[in-house]
Amino acid sequence: MKRAVVFTIVAVVAAAHAQDWPQRPVRIVVPFAAGSSPDILARIVNDKLAARIGQPLIVDNKPGAGGNTGTDQASKSQPDGYTFLLSVNAPLVYNTVLYKNLPYDPFKDLVPVSLAATTPNVCAVSNAMNVDSVKGWLAAMKQNPGKFNFASTGNGSISHLGVELIKLRTNSFAVHIPYASSGQAVTAIIQGDVQYACLPPVTVMPQAKAGRLKALAVTSAERSALLPELPTLRESGLPDIQAVPWFAYMAPKGTPNDVVQRMSREIAVVLKDPETVKRLQTAYFDPVGSTPEALAKFMGEELVRWKPVIQRAGLKPDN
């Protein structure tokens, strides 16, 4: 009898918490610089999400260490429902393999909220390479081992791992040069500091359309409806290459489950809003929206998929 009373009280308190939340602005930590893909995604979603929850959503950019700095700070934030994280593949999964002393464990110190979106990376080369196809690009790499550099958005990022997988499949070599953001990486291609990269289309395509670099292919398994003119790497003769950036909302461990569930539901509603979908697709995002449970399962699958790649390539935080 006493136990039943306790459970009833807990249920009533949880329901009251869900109804009362939020009472003040909610912080969305983005562990990358302003203008990066997750930053753009957060600001697009925030417009409608703030109206749904009835409080402002404040983007807090905390770049550094390939996303580890901001992700770590978010994991150590007060779990009161007023701090959430919008992060990406590497700091949420891959860096658990890449780094021996990661200051947080995304599988233990954070709780999943929603898989927000995906986007196909675009493999692009500098105009100076004078190639206009994946075949020409790969031939140039094989003929000039060690001559080329490639950019990424950080060690362990999907823009890094995707190229490492290409290198493994083609037995080619190039020097990895990590940058703090996709914008900086694209600029490096244009300036000739690096010769190629596979980066988010939101930064690549405007430069490709302006003729400042050459977009060759997408890294998704199928052609993107947002970039129908670009072939997949598979179509271009590289089977078993799929390296897609994804973006997920997380919360510090201990955040009330009723708040996590409500935030997940509200995000899903916003990601189906026609105006939001249009804005996201204009920025080359494919909106998803998921339950916390589905995101947890997806993260586990990503770890199984990419851990062997990281290990076979012998990747370290400084390479």
- pLDDT tens-digit series, residues 151-178: 998 888 999 999 999 998 888 899 999 9
Least confident residue range of 172-176, 262-266, 275-279, 311-315:
311-315
Residue with tokens 């081992």: 145
Of the chain, the end-to-end C-alpha distance in Å amounts to 61
Select from 216, 35, 203, 224 the least CA-distant residue to 118. 224
Residues 6+ apart with CB under 8 A from 300: none
Tell me: pLDDT of 134 over 60: yes
pLDDT value for 3: 47
Q: CB–CB of 141/166 below 8 Å? A: no
Residues 6+ apart with CB under 8 A from 204: 122, 124, 182, 186, 213, 215
Mean pLDDT of 217-230: 93
Confidence class for position 11, pLDDT limits 50, 70, 90:
very low
Mean pLDDT of 26-45: 94
Element (H, E) at 125: strand 122-126
Residue 112 dihedral angles phi and psi, to the nearest 5°: -65, 145
Residue with tokens 């990424």: 152
Helical segments of 248-291, H only: 257-270, 274-282
Rg (the chain; Cα; Å):
21
Q: CB–CB of 26/56 below 8 Å? A: yes
Residue 145: other Cβ atoms inside 10 A: 11
Percent of the chain with pLDDT over 70: 93
Residues 6+ apart with CB under 8 A from 102: 68, 95, 96
- pLDDT tens-digit series, residues 192-217: 999 999 999 999 999 999 999 999 99
